[in-house]
Amino acid sequence: MSIEELTVNYTAVVIAAIAGFGAMAIMFGASYILAPKRRSELKDMPYECGIPPSPYSWSQLHVRYYIFAILFLIFDIEAVFLFPWALIFVNAIDAVFYEMLIFIAILFFGLMYGWKKGVLQWR
Amino acid sequence: MSLLDLLKTISAIMGMLTVLSVIVLSLTLLERKFIGRIQMRKGPNRVGPFGLLQPVADAIKLVAKEDILPTWVDKVIYWVSPLVVFIPTFMIWVTIPVARDVVIRNLDMGLFYIIAFSVLSIVGLISAGWASANKYAIIGGFRAAAQLISYEIPIILSVLAIAMLAGSLNLERIVDAQATKPYIFLQPLGAFLFLCGGLAELGRTPFDIHPAESEVVGGPFVEYSGAHWSVFFLAEYINTFAIAALTTLLFLGGWLFPGLPGNVTASGVLVFLTKTYLVVLVIFWFRGTYPRLRIDQLMSLGWKVLVPLGFINVVVTAVALKTELPEIILGLISFVILASTFWIISVRMRTAPKPEYTVRLYDPSLEGLNAR
């Protein structure tokens, strides 16, 4: 694939981003013109099901989200390695195939170890 | 790249935007009608013939509704996060082909591009929850992040197996490789993983943990109203259609149908749309049928069932391709793994210890009225 083709293809991607932005800008503009704006103190309060909201809103969050985020990072980066391999391994030499199987096995046993340790349990 | 090409691309993208808006309108009506029929109601039937103009009325209402900006929100992030959710979902459509050569740009890494961009909307959901300065919104945003990143992995792994089979990440070539057999016959396990993960990515029932109305009152969207809320809504429906379209392209043979010419644009588009709308109906059908999973059940299903299954799927497909196993055997193995998973889950559900409830029935003799 030539550089020129790459430019042409990804120009379309950039144009799509700009078009999406533009469409939203038109919509928000229309809403800005059409929609009524009547502010009141009660209406602008955060909605917490009718109970008066307590002032500290950015509350602390449980650490369990963090653990799953780390797990996701590992498995998502693994995808970057797996995709190029998936396209070529059939015609490549055997070592390529076995090496990636070992890589997948390490990841899989890592997952099993985490499972055994109770990392995957939502607490 | 000449100016003419540029203009062509721009007009094609504008056309896509229009078509997608019409599709979203049709999907909202279809969903309400279909869920209505499932629940033995009629659904919307007042605006226009058979309620056909209902989505238009809804759109006008949403644009003309007040956009409330609560006092405590982080203003910039609050206004920007709908865009962060919407733009990636729209950009995906650059490379989704509707029929042969009916696509804006047929990227060589199309599938990889789609996977990479569909993850971006998580950022929008988290920042929407965070900026709202509302406890429900923050919990909802983080739930969305936890759920979406967990179910991204089964999707990646099932897509990987498809890439191996087709030997390409180009969606058009993947469809061409299915000329004699749709991949759902070779990869029933992969199709299950993809649809399951896709439903979770959409945040639709049974995986609607983050906008769960009865738990976190709408999750990251609690504080949004009017045009900004409708952007989230638009993105959700475009995503629903994208997942259905990808299921069609990757597993159901795209625009190919036995007996119909694959090269004719009109019949290709027709076949593609029919298949996609059928998948969409299945997604709506789930919504009408299943209750919502609890968040711990959702995470266990994702990490303890779908991710290991995804690994098994990849390894089985790789070994089958390397040893040149006949395709029918690959399909059979995949099906057996899927069926045995269902069987193990159902056995474990039946044999699991039941939680004990103490039920107190009304006992008239304790009231003292019967004693007389």
**pLDDT value, residue B362:** 64
How far off is chain A from B25, nearest CA to CA, in Å?
Answer: 15
First-residue to last-residue Cα distance in chain B: 99
Interface membership of A20 toward B (CB under 8 Å): yes
Report how far apart, in Å, the C-alpha atoms of B302 and of each of B148, B155, B206 are: 10, 11, 13
Angle, nearest 10°, between helix axes B135-166 and B188-202? 150
The answer to whether A35 contacts B105, with C-beta atoms less than 8 Å apart, is: no
User: Chain A contact for B273, CB < 8 A?
Assistant: no
Q: What is the dihedral of CA B365, B367, B371, B372, to 10 degrees?
A: -150
Are B100 and A25 contacting, i.e. CB atoms less than 8 angstroms apart? no
Gap between the Cα atoms of B188 and B335, Å rounded: 6
For residue A67, the domain's CATH number is 1.20.58.1610
- Asked whether the beta carbons of B210 and B219 are under 8 A apart, the reply is yes
In a domain, A12, yes or no: yes
pLDDT at B217: 79
Region B125-130 average pLDDT:
87
Confidence of residue B301 (pLDDT cuts 50, 70, 90): confident
- Residue B341 in this model has a pLDDT that exceeds 80: yes
Q: How far apart are CA A83 and CA A103, in angstroms?
A: 13
Domain span at residue A87? 3-117
Q: Tell me which of A3, A42, A87 to substitute to probe the interface with B (most B C-beta atoms closer than 10 Å).
A: A87
Residue A102, in any domain of the structure = yes
| Euclidean distance between CA atoms A98 and B259, whole angstroms | 41
pLDDT of residue B253: 84
Q: Measured between CB atoms, does A81 come within 8 Å of chain B? A: no
Give the integer Cα–Cα distance in Å for A22 and A16. 10
Examine residue A7 and state whether it is found in any structural domain, yes or no.
yes
| A to B CB pairs, distance under 8 Å | 201
Nearest chain A residue to B13 by CA distance is: A16
pLDDT in tens, B232-275: 888 889 999 999 999 999 998 888 888 777 777 888 888 999 99
- Is B304 strand, coil or helix? helix
**Tokens 């605006």 correspond to what residue?**
B47
List all residues 6 or more positions away from B293 whose beta carbon is below 8 Å from its beta carbon: B206, B207, B209, B301
B86 touches chain A (CB under 8 A): yes
Structural domains in chain A (count): 1
Whole-number Cα distances in Å, B191 to A84, B184, B207? 22, 6, 17
Q: Would you call A13 and B94 a contact, using CB atoms and an 8 Å cutoff?
A: yes
Concatenated DSSP letters of B269-294: HHHHHHHHHHHHHHHHHHHHHPPPPP
Q: What is the rounded CA–CA span in Å between residue B160 and residue B166?
A: 10
Cβ-Cβ contacts under 8 Å, B308 against chain A: 108, 111
Q: Please tell me the predicted confidence (pLDDT) of residue B247.
A: 92
Ramachandran angles phi, psi of B36, nearest 5°:
-60, -45
Q: From chain A, pick out residues whose CB is under 8 angstroms from the CB of B138.
A: 57-59, 61
Top residue of B164, B213, B231, B232 to mutate, by most chain A CBs within 10 Å, is: B164
More confident position, A15 or A5: A15
Is residue A74 scored above 80 in pLDDT? yes
Coil, strand or helix: which one is B326? coil
Q: Residues B63, A27: contact at Cβ < 8 Å?
A: yes
Burial of residue B309, with CB atoms counted within 10 A of its CB: 0-12 exposed, 13-18 middle, 19 or more buried: buried
| Secondary structure class of B207 (helix, strand, coil) | coil
Could you give phi then psi for residue B260, rounded to 5 degrees? -105, 145
Q: Report yes or no on A19 lying in a domain.
A: yes
What would the pLDDT profile of B198-240 be if each residue is shown by its tens digit? 998 888 878 888 777 777 777 788 888 888 888 888 888 999 9
Q: Tell the burial category of A88 from Cβ atoms under 10 Å away from its Cβ (0-12, 13-18, 19+).
A: exposed
| B 275-304: CB under 8 A from A | 295-296, 299-300, 303-304
Comparing CA positions, the residue from B189, B302, B306, B205 lying closest to residue B251 is: B189
Interface touch B63/A1, C-beta < 8 Å: no
User: Which of B147, B297, B311 to mutate: most A Cβ within 10 Å?
Assistant: B311
Structure tokens at B162: 């498809």
Mutation for A interface: B1, B60, B317, most A CBs within 10 A? B1
Q: Report the gap between the CA of A16 and the closest CA in chain B (Å).
A: 6
| B90 vs A contacts (CB less than 8 Å) | 16-17, 19-20
> Contact, B303 vs A69, CB < 8 A?
no
Domain positions in chain B are 1-64, 68-346
Q: pLDDT (tens digit, 9 = 90+) per residue, B149-186?
A: 889 899 999 999 999 888 888 888 888 888 888 888 88
